[in-house]
Amino acid sequence: MNHYWKRLTAVLAVTLLVAAACGRDDDSGSGSEGDGGDSGGEDASGDFIDPDLDCASYDGTAGIEGDTIKIGTISPADGPYAIYDNVTKGLQAWVTSVNDAGGIKAGDGKTYKFELVRENDSYDPAKTPALAQKLVEQEGVFLLVGNIGTESNLAIRDYLNDACVPNIALATGSSEWNKADQYPWYISGLPVRDGGELLAGLHREHQPRGQDRPALPGRRLRQGVP
């Protein structure tokens, strides 16, 4: 994986991270002591997160201590898919760079540094749930970011959703991450198939036959194009 894609992935991940940090910190001050519902249940608040309604127990400042936000990620550091750990190395390099520069300003006006806790599931979704539980329940991370693999992210989706822990910038293009009404704590970091179909449809509508055709790096976007 070249440096361009490492940097692109890291920048996207952290952009979503900061947005989630601001939102989660703001939400923590709006809660009441009433009973909360299961985040994936019938009473869930839909596309917009309401911790009072979505969460049985919510701590909007979990993982934030002083001027440091602790975040976690799960990726394959060994085995046949270890190359994907380059995404995590890119994220770690960005975190180090930001911390060395003094941190990043969040929506509350304060400046924070990051602590990234990395776990290795060897690209085996059977290992991912225990590692996610470790990050949430032992490490006390604020959120998970840049997790690698569709099956691995599916294996922990219900757990993180019920725990109201954000899982953002997912390194997987599955359309499963389009279900914001059921799983509002999941935000994909890669384009999904639905996005490609939408682009192809817009091209068919606005470009006469035979004119410039759209393309993606390394692959032609052929849907609807003869």
E-strand ranges in 24-139 read 64-65, 68-75, 104-105, 111-120
Tens of pLDDT, residues 44-98 = 444 567 777 778 888 888 999 999 999 999 999 999 999 999 999 999 999 999 9
Predicted confidence at residue 100, as pLDDT, reads: 97
Confidence of residue 11 (pLDDT cuts 50, 70, 90): very low
- Percent pLDDT > 90 in the chain is 46
Which of 17-21, 124-128, 173-177, 188-192 has the largest mean confidence?
124-128
Nearest residue to 160 (alpha-carbon basis) of 191, 187, 136: 136
Residue 168 lies in domain? 3-190
CA 40/CA 126 separation, integer angstroms: 22
- Asked if the structure places residue 78 within a domain, the reply is yes
CA 160/CA 121 separation, integer angstroms: 17
- Asked if the structure places residue 204 within a domain, the reply is no
Q: What is the pTM of this model?
A: 0.68
Confidence of residue 209 (pLDDT cuts 50, 70, 90): low
Residue 60 CA, distance from chain mean position: 17
- Asked if the structure places residue 80 within a domain, the reply is yes
- Asked if the structure places residue 145 within a domain, the reply is yes
Domain count, the chain: 1
CA 123/CA 148 separation, integer angstroms: 8
- Asked if the structure places residue 38 within a domain, the reply is yes
pLDDT mean over 15-44: 46
- Asked if the structure places residue 197 within a domain, the reply is no
Over the chain, what is the mean pLDDT?
A: 77
- Asked if the structure places residue 114 within a domain, the reply is yes
Which residue blocks in 71-143 are alpha helix, DSSP H? 85-100, 128-133
- Asked if the structure places residue 206 within a domain, the reply is no
CATH assignment of the domain containing 15: 3.40.50
